[in-house]
Amino acid sequence: MRTKYPYIIISLLISLFIYLFYRTDRTVVNEIIIRIISFDTYVALKESVINFLPLNKFIIYSLPEGLWIFCITLTSKPYYVKLFGRRINCLFIPLVFCISLEICQLLHFTNGRFDLMDIFISTLFWLVGVYTFNDKSYKQNILARLNLDSTFCIATYSIVYLSHVLK
């Protein structure tokens, strides 16, 4: 049986690479790196990477969210959450999350720009996540008993904070 974790880690590392070198230095992850290596070193490194490997806007602005949705879809598959006495399949949370995030951007509740392409790409990556690595195991409540897998799932959701743009 193939494991999903190498695909998740590679996807997250690709997203991190794009955020570090192609997105604004005002994101949380870039602020952390700047504090570790200094702003001047960061700028020099960023310029070197951009000159060596130029990327188009689609890859810079849409691919990271799609990869992240793919990751949280894969980690969410075996779980459900109980809400108001109902079992909600966690498989649908990534799709709801991405659409909600775009709506929040449209309404200026959060930083960023509403983009239908982001919704399209996220939906596409969600579908890829849904139909790869078929998990036939019994679904379990993600909050009932935390283990390494459920903690990893929750951590993949929290990674979105690192892409937040500080003012």
- 138's CB contacts (< 8 A; 6+ apart) are none
pLDDT in tens, 138-149: 789 988 888 888
Domain that residue 109 falls in: 5-163
Which parts of 15-112 are beta strand (E)? Answer: 79-83, 86-89
Helices (H), 54-112: 57-61, 63-76, 93-106
Question: Does the pLDDT of residue 94 top 80, yes or no?
Answer: yes
Domain count, the chain: 1
Q: What is the mean pLDDT of residues 76-100?
A: 93
pLDDT in tens, 10-32: 999 999 999 999 999 989 999 99
* Integer Cα distance of 79 and 88 in angstroms: 9
List phi, psi (to 5°) of 143.
-100, -5
Q: Is the distance from CB of 153 to CB of 135 less than 8 angstroms?
A: no
Asked whether the whole model's pTM tops 0.85, one would answer: yes
